Amino acid sequence: MKLGIERLLADPALRAPLAGKRVALVAHPASVTRDLTHSLDALAATGDVKLTAAFGPQHGLRGDKQDNMIESPDFIDPVHEIPVFSLYGEVRRPTGQSMSTFDTVLIDLQDVGCRIYTFITTLLYMLEAAAEHGKAVWVLDRPNPAGRPVEGTTLVAGWESFVGAGPIPMRHGLTLGELGQWFVDHFKLDVDYRVIAMEGYDPDGAGFGWPTDRIWVNPSPNAPNVNMARCYAGTVMLEGATLSEGRGTTRPLELFGAPDIEARAVIAEMQRIAPRWLAGCTLRDIWFEPTFHKHVGKLCSGVHIHAEGDAYDHQAFKPWRVQALGLKAIRSLFPEYDLWRDFPYEYAFGKLPIDVINGGPSLREWVDDAGAEPGDLDAIATPDEEAWMEERKPFLLY
């Protein structure tokens, strides 16, 4: 199997349209080849690609920014002596100044297959800027480690944000290259867009989206493994809750907990409310003490979601529903629990973070409604999921 970057490096004919062009690269620490050479270094080594700029998304080109809403500065790359522009600093959208530094931009970002993961919004913003400035955009495609399954409600009009680029469900089941095609079509962008597709990639093969012979490199500091990528479409909702999502532990975004809950009781309540939603994964009660972030230095009772091992069923596992069920169980056991955080999450002012994350209030309303049952959430989400499965078909490359 070859990644988009590997095909581009191996085939001079694929690079031929870049001859005489000024080329920029959007990348992060996981932008590496099979032998773990960073794409910036690999492109420079070809000798026929004229690199004139680079861009770093959230967490930075170097991946050094640990938390959300920690901005990265612009800088000059000390090796290649080109400007590196931050797309998560003073600006989220590329400026006219930065767009003037290249003719074609290569986007080589490892995504995790979830609407809220901001690299897809960065892709959209770059496509929109390229359409405005007459630039070409190439996506060097990479696997979606969460695979093809689709889950979650579609973002509601008016709820767009940096973690909600458009009307897609939480777990979209597309690679970045495929999603770019959908963006171009949906937003009617007049842009020179192409995908350097992977070769030999089977999203339904071993690894269920992530090839088992590939080394995992964190695309962001709290994305340490494939289990996180599988769970993320659910556990990311914890960023809008007072519960810890495991930041400050070695397994962030695979677990949830707090000092004042009883994990075994929560798991039992989840099994009582909607046992069918727990298919395909294993829940394990744990103890942890975050070294930073929520509940720092406090002993927390928690639930670890294992989307791995013999019990894992890729088609049955529903991370968005599993995490919704965890929130529902806590609300059921502790009706007055202070569950929802209230701050301008990702600079979305005047809206609860949990609603920004879900692209609307329906999930929170379901959790808070004592009379709401699992079937009520299914009734909201299932039509959206089925509609997206049809809508995405023309854009599938693999």
Structural domain of 235: 226-388
Please tell me the predicted confidence (pLDDT) of residue 347.
79
Q: Report the number of distinct structural domains present in the chain.
A: 2
188 and 138 belong to one structural domain = yes
Q: Which of 172, 195, 220 is the last residue of a domain?
A: 220
Whether 278 maps to a domain, the answer reads: yes
Please tell me the predicted confidence (pLDDT) of residue 279.
97
pLDDT tens by residue, 127-156: 999 999 999 999 999 999 999 999 999 999
pLDDT tens by residue, 276-297: 999 999 999 999 999 999 999 9
Please tell me the predicted confidence (pLDDT) of residue 387.
98
Q: What is the CATH number of the domain that holds 108?
A: 3.40.50.12170
pLDDT at 328 over 80: yes
Q: What's the token pair of residue 386?
A: 């089925």
Separation between Cα atoms, residue 173 and residue 179, nearest integer Å? 9
Q: Which of 205, 220, 235 is the last residue of a domain?
A: 220
pLDDT tens by residue, 188-236: 999 999 999 999 999 999 999 999 999 999 999 999 999 999 999 999 9
Please tell me the predicted confidence (pLDDT) of residue 147.
98
- Give per-residue burial for 114-153: e unless 16+ CB within 10 Å, then b: bbbbbbbbbbbbbbbbbbeeebbbbbbbbbbbbbbbbbbb
Arithmetic mean of pLDDT, 82-99: 94
Average pLDDT across the chain, whole number: 96
